[in-house]
A and B are shown apart, each in its own frame.
Chain A
């Protein structure tokens, strides 16, 4: 069983601050996806990273895939209240027909 550990589990910050959330595993993943889930809704894909060392930017969000493809990070610059939500990482393992989801990081951005 491939496990994805996300940290921190909860994060509460002031608007304008920077933050980083982490997604770690002892397993290698062929790709890793980041989703955001708002209260009362299903998760929505933010980005997919495929290559070890890859960095992708989505406006104020920066995603990085570790060189060994075992970990990933999400950095948010100058957080806004609209960033509030549950951030989930999900990995696709070699030979697996399904994604493995982490338990998520619940982010609250306070005005």
Chain B
């Protein structure tokens, strides 16, 4: 089992460009999450999907959109990247919304 996989691992964008971060899990988990991690700020929830077919905003959703494509996949889209979105992005999944979360290896995004 691969667990939670994320692509790409690294990405550099120019301001205004768009991109989609991909996430997939093979543990048949119901819930999936997108976080960003910045120095001194900890993990901040961007969006989550409690179950297939549902998505909800987290603490910092502005500038992002998500799609729960199926039970396995949860993508994060930046429509018009800004330097403030430079961060490390983590996808995670869990069986239920308050259970142990399994994290992917992260995507390191730089917006110039």
Interface, chain A (partner B; CB < 8 A): 9, 30-31, 33, 40-45, 48, 88, 90, 92, 96-99, 101-104
Task: Say yes or no for B19: interface residue by CB 8 A criterion.
Answer: no
Chain B residues within an 8 Å CB radius of A33 = 100-101
10 inter-chain pairs at a CB distance below 8 angstroms, sorted by A residue, are A9-B40, A30-B98, A40-B106, A42-B104, A43-B103, A44-B103, A45-B101, A48-B100, A97-B48, A97-B98
**Structural contact, B56 and A42, CB atoms closer than 8 A:** no
**Across the interface, which residues of A come within 8 angstroms of B45, CB to CB?**
98
Chain B residues with CB under 8 Å of A102's CB are 42
B33 at the interface (CB under 8 A from A): yes
Number of A-B contacts defined by CB within 8 Å = 52
Interface residues on B, range: 20 to 34
A88 with B106, Cβ < 8 A, contacts A48-B100, A97-B97, A98-B58 known: no
Asked if A99 and B42 sit within 8 Å, CB to CB, the answer is no
Q: Is the CB of A99 within 8 A of B98?
A: yes
Interface residues of chain B, those whose CB is within 8 Å of chain A, are: 4, 33, 35, 40-45, 48, 50, 56, 58, 90, 92, 97-98, 100-106
Q: Contact partner of A97 among B35, B43, B50, B100, CB < 8 A?
A: B50
- Cβ–Cβ contact A98 & B33, under 8 A: yes
From A31, A33, A103, residue with most partner B Cβ within 10 Å: A103
Contact call A42/B42, Cβ cutoff below 8 A: no
C-alpha gap A96/B31 in the complex (Å): 13
Q: Are B42 and A88 in touch, CB under 8 angstroms? A: yes
Q: Are A101 and B48 in contact (CB under 8 A)?
A: no
The answer to whether A101 touches B58 (Cβ under 8 A) is no
* Given A42-B106, A96-B98, 19 additional A-B pairs, CB 8 A: A30-B98, A40-B105, A40-B106, A42-B4, A43-B43, A43-B101, A43-B103, A48-B100, A88-B42, A96-B97, A98-B33, A98-B45, A98-B58, A99-B98, A101-B35, A101-B42, A102-B42, A103-B41, A103-B42
